[in-house]
Amino acid sequence: MGINNIMVYSKVVLSNKNYFATAKMKAHSVFIDIPKSEGGGDTGPTPVAYLLTAIGGCVAMTLRMYAERKNWEVGKITVNVAQLEDEDGFYLSEEISFEKEITVKQKERLLFFAGKCPVARMVKGETRTTSKII
């Protein structure tokens, strides 16, 4: 991993305590775990919960940036992201709402730009990924 081209970095260390992990991102640390029913300690959100949070946060921030560029007053932006399952397998669902009333045209543009957030694009497989054991 070339140090000069790192944009964002997360280091995850899984402890010897079942599935408890600590993740460090810049000056921030968070805990990761899985539910007791799956063998973990339920001492932190699951990796999927963090992914859903990352998507929701990224979509909301992307929409705020776009709305500000257009001088649209949308108020608070709420993004509910869920992992669902049906006969075809797992899928993600996003529900986006705005505190202020927006027009049909604004809804169309904002929905288009919701899909442009970097995290959503990564999840859709639009980001090249490399892996290696060092």
The tens digit of pLDDT for each residue in 31-69 reads 999 999 999 999 999 999 999 999 999 999 999 999 999
pLDDT of residue 2: 52
Q: Is the residue at 87 inside a domain?
A: yes
- Assess whether 22 and 52 both reside in one domain: no
Q: Is the residue at 129 inside a domain?
A: no
Q: For the range 47-50, what are the long-range contacts, defined as Cβ-Cβ under 8 Å and sequence gap of 24 or more?
A: 48/83
- Assess whether 90 and 53 both reside in one domain: yes
Q: Is the residue at 130 inside a domain?
A: no
- Assess whether 110 and 54 both reside in one domain: yes
User: CATH number, domain at 80?
Assistant: 3.30.300.20
Q: Distance between CA 131 and CA 108 in Å, rounded?
A: 37
Q: Distance between CA 52 and CA 83 in Å, rounded?
A: 8
Structurally, the chain folds into a number of domains equal to: 2
Domain ranges, residue 23: 7-38
